[in-house]
Chain A
Amino acid sequence: MNSLLAHPSFVLLLGAVIIAVLPRKYKKYLLLATGIAGLILALRLPVGMEYSLPLIEGLPLVILKVDQLAWLMTSAAALMLLASILYGWGEIGHREITWGLVYAGASCGALLSGSLIMLVIWWEVMAAGAAFMLISRHDRHAVNAGIRYLLVHFFGGNLLLFGIVLLARQGYVLVEPLSRGMGAGYWLVLAGVGVSAGMIPFHSWIADAYPNASIAGSVVMSSMTTKVAAITLLRLFAGETFLVWMGILMAFWGVFYALRENHIRRLLSYHIISQLGLIITAIGIGTPLAKNAAVALTIGNMVYKGLLYMSTGSIYYCTGKQKLTELGHQIETVPINACFFFVGALSIAGMPGLMGFACKPMVMAAAGSEHMALVSVLLYFAGIGTFLSIPLKLGYNMFVGVNPAPEMKKPPKIMMYVGMALLAVIIFIAGLFPGRFYQLLPWSELTSYTPYTLDHVVSEFQLLLGSLLAFIVLHHLFKVKKGVSLDMDWFYRRPLASLVLMLSNGLNGLRLAIWRSLLGILERILPFFRNPMRILMPWKAGGKEDFQPDRYRLPVGAGASWILLAFAVMFLLLSAAV
């Protein structure tokens, strides 16, 4: 029991329940306390601890299993939760607080669970928490996006559950590397985790949900679901060659859509797909260096993508605008915010000195040491798109650009800068002292990778300058335009919606036809239910429709004789029956 109390999910879920019933003005203080307690518990998790209960037929239900990877990822998730609590201080909706804590708690639970069935339970809670975070906003778009999120994730969760049940029949119940020989269960679990990891036919929920979350909500959401899914893929499917090519497809897909996008937070969301592609490729390569690279890139993405969501979110907070065509010259109005943005943006592009340089080239090095020439070239190719889409396209158009600066509705809050500064410090520490960061990675004894060699730094700068040259020469192609880009979500937002609408219209038409025909029948037979006096005693009724008691009331004896007659008939019938 003691070990269950050490579970960070426990304190986060407890906090969620207490905050739900607390008076509104105290909620944010307990939220902060819960966030800090979650981080402390996550950091204090002892590596090697395991807590399990016996399940059916002697199979264990491993609720808590802490290895180096689980410890690292849980700490990173708790840290991101704390950073977004600081960032959203006083701005998070009252219901959103509760659902956000449920969501974060479920994410930590999924990272720490050692049994597949425990994983799928947390998986569903995570989906519900995130969806209700969206639905609890008073915004029609967010509610619709939340419902779509719920549908996509319950689909994925059901695939996962189906696969896990099939695997359990063969006796595989633990979160351990799976192999292709396990049959259909293997592929179902891969698809189920793949929905949450944003694999290609099922990726568009990312670009649908995250831009519709609140500004702090998108920070939390971007650092949980997809990252938990990536770590689950790493635990279950490391070395699966399918993932290499799926990852490369995702890396390109995300970059193309990010280059097209006008909505600032949707651009970042599309770019998440690209970064997940790099992570998934690394998982597919599956050597210790590649697995380390996947973990490093996952944590890096949580931190610098979180910082980017924060800085773009605070521009949305200040101006109320989140289209690039409506933004410009923000560097004059929010210069500190611009600094934080460029720290995150250059980090994600892989600028030496920042965290991205410690993470991203590791993936390419892993591909190189396995002599995967095509994979390596394609990864560099897609990686260029990061520099083009985030610091250049987003940064240039948002902070410099051609449009005039929109009116500032309110100044940014100091606490927003506190949250951003926390992440920026981590980016600088990990970027400047990568050795300390690499020591934390799970397979660090088996690998040696030094980012700061002269040829790495020189080639990275050459790559960045070469793309900058292309950005300047082809600046007319990078001009942002209004409009949306169709993606896979078109299938369930247009044809499926039309189909549902058509079916519901058809059923409604059927209902109306039945109702109309009933009305018609009623109209036909209504004359027979008119005032009977018109037929029986027309001289007394005088042709009048409405009942007039003074004119034609029957004597009491008539009523009594009717009752007597009915009684006699019933008596005869009953006695005949008996």
Chain B
Amino acid sequence: MYWSKKLLYILVPILILAGIELLFVHPHPHFVWEGWVGYDAVFGFISSTILVIIAKPLMDGLIKRPEDYYEDIYVPKGYQANGMKETSAGEPVKPSKEDHHE
């Protein structure tokens, strides 16, 4: 695994912090789980995982749309926003007289 070294840089401080918590902190927790050693690190890891799994793979299927989804809904097909007609090459040309009349 290429990120195993990076993991070490994070796991070691977590363990050190947990050790400090075990030895020096005498908490007066509001809730019982706030007194558990290393609770916050585990909570952080698990909740990050849940958040990103909901945010990315699960919500992708429901609400992901292409980037130009909201573009130019008010503009009829074949026209650019400034009222110029688009040619096949994508180059705007001035609207001719027939375009204005019915």
Residues of A within 8 A of B (CB): 140, 255-257, 259-260, 262, 365, 368-369, 371, 373, 376, 380-381, 384-385, 388, 454-455, 458-475, 477-478, 481-487, 493-494, 497-498, 501, 512, 515-516
Contacts and interface: CB of A to CB of B under 8 A. Distances in A.
Interface in B21-35: 21, 24-25, 27, 30-31, 34
23 contacts: A255-B51, A255-B55, A257-B55, A260-B55, A260-B64, A368-B34, A381-B51, A385-B51, A463-B44, A465-B13, A466-B43, A467-B48, A468-B10, A469-B44, A472-B7, A473-B3, A484-B65, A485-B63, A485-B65, A486-B62, A494-B73, A498-B73, A515-B102
A369 B14 CA distance: 27
A202 to B, nearest CB: 18
Contacts of A260: 55-56, 59-60, 64
Interface string B4-18: 001100110110011
Contact of A471 (B47, B48, B53): B48
A371 B31 CA distance: 8
B84 interface: no
B66 interface: yes
B93 interface: no
B51 A388 contact: yes
A103 B31 CA distance: 44
B31 A256 contact: no
Given A465-B13, A485-B64, A485-B65, A477 B3 contact: no
Given A384-B48, A466-B41, A455 B25 contact: yes
Contacts of A482: 66-67
A494 B64 CA distance: 15
Contact of A516 (B3, B13, B49, B102): B102
The majority secondary structure among interface residues of chain A is helix
B43 A463 contact: yes
A259 B52 contact: yes
A467 B64 CA distance: 25
Given A463-B41, A465-B13, A472-B3, 13 more contacts: A260-B60, A260-B64, A381-B50, A454-B24, A455-B25, A460-B40, A466-B42, A468-B10, A469-B41, A470-B45, A474-B52, A483-B67, A485-B64
Contacts of B7: 469, 472-473
Nearest to A325: B67
B51 A256 contact: yes
A497 B48 contact: no
